[in-house]
Amino acid sequence: MKTFKELSIRVDAINIWNVLEFKNSEMTIQEIYTSLSISFEEAMLAIGWLAKENNIFIDKKDGRLILSKCHSDFSFG
């Protein structure tokens, strides 16, 4: 059974994915947590979840972390 915190992280991850999908561009972590009205900690937990599942790409530009959707259609076979 999932804990409340696990469900909360999952909901935040889905919301972050939806924001990246809707914007269809890169966003900073601050832009993400501000647009969703969640804390920095909540955003980082959800971003970690998305990164673990290979659903987002994290890059660094001008000293800031930038997130975008993964556009990988690569497969073996």
Domain residue extents for the chain: 4-69
pLDDT for residue 2: 67
State the pTM of this model.
0.81
> Domain 4-69 classified CATH 1.10.10.10?
yes
Q: Which of 63, 61, 65, 62 is nearest to 47 (CA)?
A: 65
* Three-class DSSP category at 26: coil
Output the CA torsion sign for 33, 43, 18, 1: negative
Where the chain has pLDDT below 70, the residues are: 1-2, 4, 71-77
Residues contacting residue 56 through CB under 8 Å, at least 6 positions apart: 16, 17, 20, 47, 50, 67, 68, 69, 70
